[in-house]
């Protein structure tokens, strides 16, 4: 089944839409769903032109496609556990939060909190992601715990904050403090970043681009070789964050540290 949702023009287009009802399994029951525009509830067909093609008997047969002005539509794919979502353009905050299975593809940019507290499944963002990509929720000790999140562009600050499982890959650059508080899982940054892995206690982070202002509380352990896109790359291997009794592993491509 393909469900195509194309946005209709809205009078107050800057007011965000909360659309946690847009997950593949909900469309098995039809399209009689609703979303919220600010504090007003709206039926799905007031916000989108809806087209449904083909049948499905289980959610993993459902593919939802979002088109149009989707950059302010939040919570799409929240708690998703099967099926596919494809966003042709940009997507709003909290896309794929708590996801446990299925696949979300974003062709444009993703706003903040992409894949927050992800448990499983796959998210791929072709554009840039905002802050808190693959992060956790305030006050919880564990953030993303499973699944695979890949950003082909750049990401913002606090990527993979509280990471405890799963894999987060940013092909471009990230902002400040990626991997902060991480305790498990794997974070790979192919581009540049600033102050990676503050307060880390576990897990592995690899940075292939330039690192700005690396933190002084990581203990150098030597060098190691890793596979990077078919090539062997030498990395400086660090353990830390020593400020925090940390036993995490931070690998930075050797000699890619910006001078003071």
Partner 1 sequence: MKIEDVVCPFCGCLCDDLVVEVEGDKIVSVENGCTLANEKFLGNNRLKTPIIREGSNWTHIDIEEAIKTTAEILLDADRPLLYGWSGTHGEAQTIGVHMAEMLGAVIDNTSTVCHGPSIMAIQEVGHPGCTLGQVKNRADVIVYWGSNPIEAHPRHMSRYTTYADGFFLKEAFRERKVIVVDIRKTETANIADEFVMVEPGADYALLSALRAIVRGKGDILPHNIAGVEKEQLVRVADICKSARFGAIFFGLGLTMSRGKYKNIRNAIELTEELNRHTKFTISPMRGHWNVYGSNEVFTWISGYPFAVDFARGIAFYNPGETTSVDILRRGECDACLVVASDPGAHFPKDCCRHLASIPTIQIDPHVNATTHLSHLQIPVAVTGIDSEGTAYRMDGVPIRTRKVIETTYPSDSEVLEKIYQIIRREMGP
Partner 2 sequence: MSELLIKNAFVIDPINGINGEVMDIAIRDGRIVEDVGSGADIIDADRCLTLPGGIDSHTHVCGTKVNFGRYMSPEDMRAGRTSRKGSMHVTSGYSVPTTFGNSYRYSTMGYTTLLEGAMAPLEARHTHEEFTATPHQDMMANTLFDGNWSVMEAVRDKDVKRAAAVVSWIISAAKGFGIKLTNPGGTEAWGWGEDVSSIYDAVPYFEVTPAEIIETMIRANEMLGLPHSVHLHCNNLGVPGNYRTTLDTMDLVPDLNSKRQSLYLTHVQFHSYGGSTWRDIDSRSEEITRMVNSSPHIVMDMGQIMFGRTTTMTADGPMEFKLYMLHHNKWSNHDVELETGSGIIPVYYSRKSLVNCVMWAIGLELALQTKSPWQCLLTTDNPNGAPFVKYPEIIALLMSKRFRDQECALLDSRTEKLVPLMALDRELDWNEIAVMTRAGQSRALGIEALGKGHLAPGAEADVAIYPIRTSEIDPSAQYQQVMAGFSRSMYTIKRGRVVARNGDVVVEGANSTIWVKPRLSPEYDLGNDPEFARKFQQYYTVRMSNYPVQDSYLPRGVCIETEADL
Binding mask 63-82 for partner 1 (x = CB under 8 A): --------------------
What is the smallest separation between the CB atom of 83 and partner 2, expressed in angstroms? 26
Of these, 30, 32, 40, 231, which contacts partner 1 (CB under 8 A)?
40
177 is a contact residue toward partner 1 (CB under 8 A): yes
Query: Which residue lies nearer to partner 1 by CB, 167 or 181?
Result: 181
User: Which residue from 136, 137, 175 is spatially nearest to 155, judged by alpha carbons?
Assistant: 175
Which option in partner 1, partner 2, none does residue 43 bind, with CB closer than 5 to 8 A by kind? Answer: none
Half-sphere exposure of 254 (CA within 13 A, CB side): 13
153 is a contact residue toward partner 1 (CB under 8 A): no
Q: Are 142 and 183 in contact (CB under 8 A)?
A: yes
What is the smallest separation between the CB atom of 199 and partner 1, expressed in angstroms? 7
What is the smallest separation between the CB atom of 1 and partner 1, expressed in angstroms? 28
Q: Kindly list the distances between the CA atom of residue 249 and the CA atoms of 85, 94, 190, in Å, as whole numbers in the listed order.
A: 34, 28, 16
Query: Which residue lies nearer to partner 1 by CB, 55 or 216?
Result: 216
Q: Within a 10 A sphere around the Cβ of 92, how many other Cβ atoms?
A: 23
Q: What's the CA gap between 35 and 27, in Å, rounded? A: 14
Half-sphere exposure of 154 (CA within 13 A, CB side): 11
Q: What's the CA gap between 71 and 202, in Å, rounded? A: 34
Could you list the residues that contact partner 2 (CB under 8 A)? 137-141
User: Which residue from 175, 85, 160, 154 is spatially nearest to 122, judged by alpha carbons?
Assistant: 85
User: Which residue from 195, 226, 230 is spatially nearest to 210, judged by alpha carbons?
Assistant: 195
Beta strands in 101-229 (DSSP E): 103-106, 122-125, 145-151, 165-170, 183-189, 193-194, 202-207, 211-212, 219-228
What is the smallest separation between the CB atom of 238 and partner 2, expressed in angstroms? 23
Of these, 93, 123, 133, 187, which contacts partner 1 (CB under 8 A)?
93
Q: Which of residues 216-255 bind partner 1 (CB under 8 A)?
A: 216-220, 241-245
Of these, 18, 63, 150, 190, which contacts partner 1 (CB under 8 A)?
18
Which option in partner 1, partner 2, none does residue 12 bind, with CB closer than 5 to 8 A by kind? Answer: partner 1
Residues that bind partner 1 (CB under 8 A): 12, 14-16, 18, 36-40, 93, 112-113, 131-132, 138-139, 176-177, 180-181, 195, 198-199, 213, 215-220, 241-245
């Amino acid at each position: 089944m393909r469900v195509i949702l194309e946005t209709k023009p809205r009078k107050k287009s800057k007011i965000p839409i909360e659309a946690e009802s847009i997950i593949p399994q909900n469309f098995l029951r039809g399209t009689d769903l609703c979303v919220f525009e600010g504090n007003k509830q709206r039926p799905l067909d007031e916000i989108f032109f809806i087209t449904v093609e083909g049948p499905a008997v289980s959610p993993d047969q459902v593919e939802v496609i979002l088109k149009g002005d989707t950059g302010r539509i939040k919570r799409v794919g929240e708690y998703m556990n099967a099926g596919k979502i494809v966003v042709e353009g940009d997507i709003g905050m909290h896309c794929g939060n708590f996801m446990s299975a299925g696949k979300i593809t974003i062709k444009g940019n993703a706003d903040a909190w992409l894949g927050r507290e992800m448990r499983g499944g796959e998210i791929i963002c072709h554009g840039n992601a905002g802050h808190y990509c693959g992060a956790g929720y305030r006050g919880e000790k564990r953030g993303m715990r499973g699944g695979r999140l890949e950003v082909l562009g750049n990401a913002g600050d606090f990527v993979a904050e509280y990471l405890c499982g799963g894999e987060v890959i940013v092909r471009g650059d990230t902002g400040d403090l990626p991997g902060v508080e991480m305790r498990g899982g794997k974070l790979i940054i192919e581009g540049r970043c600033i102050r990676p892995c503050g307060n880390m206690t576990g897990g592995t982070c690899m940075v292939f681009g330039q690192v700005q202002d690396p933190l002084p509380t990581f203990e150098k352990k030597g060098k190691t070789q890793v596979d990077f896109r078919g090539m062997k790359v030498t990395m400086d291997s660090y353990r830390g964050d020593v400020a925090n009794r940390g036993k995490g592993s931070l690998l930075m491509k050797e000699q890619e540290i910006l001078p003071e």
